[in-house]
Amino acid sequence: MKKYNIALISLTIGYGSIAQPLQYDNSNVDTIIIESIAYVAHDVKRNFHQKTNIYTLYYDSNVDDFVIKSYIKTEQLNSKIKQKTVEKYDSLYNAKEKIQNLLFSVEQTYKSVNLSDFDIDENNIGSLIDSAFLLWTENTRSQERYKDIQKCKNIDDFRAFLTEQYSEDKLKEHKVSSNAGQRFSIYIKTSLNTYWVTGSTYYRSNQPWNRSLLDVFSSPKYSIINFDINNSLLEILPKDFLNIVKLTVLGVMQDYIDEWCCKYK
């Protein structure tokens, strides 16, 4: 399997040093684009509703750091499109370091998942499950469903879910949401290529991710299970970014409810 090398170029002239751009696959990283899409398509009513947030950062050699270029929110209802450019947002400190962590995380094909990856124990698992249940967009808040989730508010069940749901076997699985869903995408633009890393459209936690070259038909796609991707994005993105909650532990809890509590209990 091809490995993408990530490094810092250190260039020194005399006693001083100049900018040190990040590298991905042996070429300088120019731009990082992070996109979140949420969409619903009604086949019968022939309605289409989509929201999109796009957050763009570029490398500025003058400050040797990544700088926010734009933050754009778009909403489309059938053929009507509204677009808004967010003018005020929090500054991103240590952006270069956070981007580097993101690049490292998409480099790893598989990182095992266990309880220590999440701030969850027997004392807070119940409240986290309740919070995830309330975030469901589907009309599934029936009394029967609520009873289902009460039965699996224990840490042993959650540990078993992590072992099964995020095993290496899941790298071979390709489930796709059809009429409704969400998708996170990361575009890594270098001086030579653009790489596309996209989250699962089926699972709420976005795991597994898929990595490929953009617009290259023959490019192989590699599946990735690594929650460092989620955590790196949380360090970079604005707090109001579309569907950002699904990158958190609540996204994992939603998968736990859907794929475990309501299926096996």
**Residue from 50, 29, 34 nearest 185 by CA:** 34
At residue 13, the pLDDT reads 39
Strand partners, 51: 38, 75
**pLDDT per residue over 173-185, tens digit each?**
766 665 557 889 9
At residue 202, the pLDDT reads 83
CA angle 29, 9, 25 (to 5 degrees): 45
Structure tokens, 263: 């299926």
Kindly give the confidence (pLDDT) of every residue in the chain, 265 residues in length, as a single tens digit, with 9 standing for 90 and above. 455 555 544 444 334 457 799 999 999 999 999 999 998 776 666 788 899 999 999 999 999 999 999 999 999 988 888 999 998 877 899 999 999 999 999 999 999 998 888 889 889 999 999 888 887 645 455 666 777 788 889 999 999 999 999 999 888 776 666 555 788 999 999 999 999 999 988 888 999 999 998 876 666 678 999 999 999 999 999 999 999 999 999 999 989 988 888 776 5
CA distance 200 to 151: 27
What 8-state DSSP symbol labels residue 18? -
Those residues with Cβ within 8 angstroms of residue 53's Cβ, 6 or more apart along the chain or in another chain: 35, 36, 71, 72, 73, 74, 241, 242
Q: Whose structure tokens read 């900018």? A: 19
DSSP calls for 119-169: S--TTTHHHHHHHHHHT--SS---HHHHHHHHHT-SHHHHHHHHHHHTSGG
Q: What is the reported pTM?
A: 0.86
At residue 60, the pLDDT reads 96
